[in-house]
Each structure stands twice: as C-alpha cells, then as structure tokens.
Amino acid sequence: MSLGLLYLLLLKATVTSFSGMGSLPQIRQDFVVTRRVVDDEQLSRAVLVGRSTPGPLGAFVVSIGYAARGWPGAVAGWLAVVTPAFLAVPLLVLLRRWLYLSRLRTAVDAVIIAGATLLVPSGVGLARDAIAQLFQGG
Amino acid sequence: MSALSLRALAWIVARDCNSTIGGQAAIELMRRSLARAGWLDDAQHGLLLAVSRFTPGTNMLAYCASLGWTLGRGAGAIVAVAAASLPAAALVAVISAAITSIDRWPGVRAVLAVATLAAAGLVLSSAWTLTRPYLRGSRRIWTVASIAIAAALAAAGVTPVRVLLMLAIWGALTPQKETAAR
C-alpha cells in the first residue's frame, strides 16, 4: 500500500467521524476486511495503545499507520488525524460573522448545552470503566 | 500575538492535551489554564467547543485549531494542533514499535484506572461549567428544556452529531433575547 493511499484511507475514516474513536469502524472495514494490510489483533493493539497513552484518543490512527507501513506510515497516520481539525477554522469564522443574528446565537447556545449534556454519559462511562478496572485488581 | 505568546500557547496546549487520556478532560484543563492567564473567557470557550463538536475528526484537535486561530490566526492554529498531537503521536508510534502489550502489566493498568477516574471527574466538571451560565436569569426554563431534549435524544440512541444538529434547529426556532456575552 502506498503512503498516499494509506493517508487517504485513514483520512476518509477520520473526516467522516466526529470523535476520536469514531473512525474505528471505517478503519477496520478498509484495513482489516477489504485490504487485509492489518489484522484484528494489530487493530486491537492500536486501540489499546491509543487509549492507554495520554493525548487525543484519535492518536490510535498513528498506530494503525505504523502497523501498515512502519515509521512513514505513522507520519501518514498523524497527518490523517490532524487534517480534519483545520476545518474548524472556517467554521469558526463563519459562525462569528453571523453571530449577531439572535436565532444563530440561540442555536449556538443550544449546541453548547447539548454538548455539555452529552459529556455526562462520557464522564460516567469513563468513571465506570476506571472503577471496574480498580476492582479487578488493576 | 507575539512569538513569546505562541510559545506559551504551545506549552499550555502540549502540557494539557498530553497529560490526560481523551479530549474532554484535556479541553477542561486548557480552559482553566487559559482562563487563569486571561486569554479565554467562558463564552469564547463555549463557542470553540461548539465549533469543535461540528468539526469532523478528533474534537480536541478541532478545539485546538479554533483556539489557535482565535489567539494567533494561522500560525496559532498550526502551533496548537501540532503541540496537541505531536507528543502523543510520537509516543503512540514508539509504543507501537516497542511493545506487544502493556495491558499485561498490572501496575500500569492500576495507574491508568486512577488517571481515568480523575479524567472522568474533569469531564463532569466541564459539563457543569458549560451549563451553569445558562441556568441563571430568564432562560432557565429554556435551558432545562434544551438539556431534557438532548438527554432524551441521546438516551434514544441518536448519534451525538445528530443530537447537536437537532438542538441547533431547536435553538434557531426558539430565539432567546438574553444570551451569553461573546
């Protein structure tokens, strides 16, 4: 698999997800099922490393890149993780330009409140996992 | 923003993003660090968080890109995203190359469990920090209704991005006079 194709496949997965681990199903489909350049064990290990390492959860994509093409693949994986982030800049510019509209301001407020509400199950899930791990003896 | 400030931004982002596992706790750490330095207020933070939620990919990195743009335009965005992602990416690559599994080390698992518990506390604290300003004043009922709608949609299995889109529509259909200052 060429580095360009590796980057594009990983980018396809990251740009169509909205959370760090959200790209996992697409990555499995492309790398394990369709092209067979990575097996399920390597995929699990990548997820484990990504989840066990400080930093963004999406960093597990770097490990997938490494498994597929070594160090250059890891760089391609990192680029695939960071590329979608820059889409936030035009979104922010557009949002600020139209923020004087009360409907838009209220829509943004509603999204902020919804985002905060969605954090609760994430936080509870993290706590539950951590407590379960502690009771299993670390 | 001066070169020194870009360095300071890089340091804060690198430290806070790479000292927790996952995005929400890191974002909360960044908010606290930047608010202490007077670089970011709660309203700006809320806007950046909303943008990051609508941006594909990793929320934390989208937050860093918009934060960097807010504080230092293009250079700030690149510095913030690189600072947030490079240390973790390097560590992931090194670990991937060096070990087969760290899960078998009980000591590592215990430390990770405690760290995850602390991260969970930060996430829940972040949810409260974001919601609290809306629970004051005349919009309390609208805010509670918004929370109830979001919670009901999430409980019904609606994906997060759809929940956010539906709440955006709800907000656009129910414009409020009072809003958080930005």
pLDDT value of position B1: 47
Q: Kindly state whether residue B173 falls inside one of the protein's structural domains.
A: no
Using an 8 Å CB-CB cutoff, list chain B residues near A18.
53, 55-57, 59, 159-161
A8 touches chain B (CB under 8 A): no
Q: Kindly state whether residue B91 falls inside one of the protein's structural domains.
A: yes
Which among A28-32, B3-7, B52-56 has the top mean pLDDT?
A28-32
- Closest Cα in chain A, distance from residue B170 (Å): 7
pLDDT at B121 over 90: no
Q: What is the mean pLDDT of residues B117-129?
A: 74
SS3 state at B99: coil
pLDDT value of position B2: 47
> Rounded CA gap, A61 and A50, in Å?
8
Please, are residues B21 and A54 in contact by the beta-carbon 8 Å criterion? yes
Which domain range does residue B85 map to?
3-102
B141 touches chain A (CB under 8 A): no
SS3 state at B74: helix
Q: Kindly state whether residue B62 falls inside one of the protein's structural domains.
A: yes
> Rounded CA gap, B125 and A52, in Å?
22
pLDDT tens digit sequence for B132-182: 888 887 889 999 999 999 999 989 988 776 788 899 899 999 988 765 544
Using an 8 Å CB-CB cutoff, list chain B residues near A99.
182
Q: What is the mean pLDDT of residues B73-90?
A: 93
B172 touches chain A (CB under 8 A): yes
pLDDT value of position A102: 82
Mean pLDDT score across all residues of chain A:
83
Residues in B 80-139 with any Cβ partner in A closer than 8 A: 81-82, 84-89, 91-93, 95-97, 100-103, 106-114, 116-117, 119-121, 123-124, 126-128, 130-131, 134
pLDDT at B72 over 80: yes
pLDDT value of position B101: 54
Query: Which contacts qualify for B93-101: CB closer than 8 Å, 24 or more apart?
Result: B93/A62, B93/A63, B93/A66, B93/A71, B93/A74, B93/A78, B95/A49, B95/A52, B95/A53, B95/A63, B96/A45, B96/A46, B96/A49, B96/A62, B96/A63, B96/A66, B96/A67, B96/A74, B97/A66, B97/A71, B100/A45, B101/A45, B101/A48
ipTM value: 0.76
Closest residue in A to B27 (Cα–Cα) = A56
- Dihedral sign (CA A85, A90, A95, A100): positive
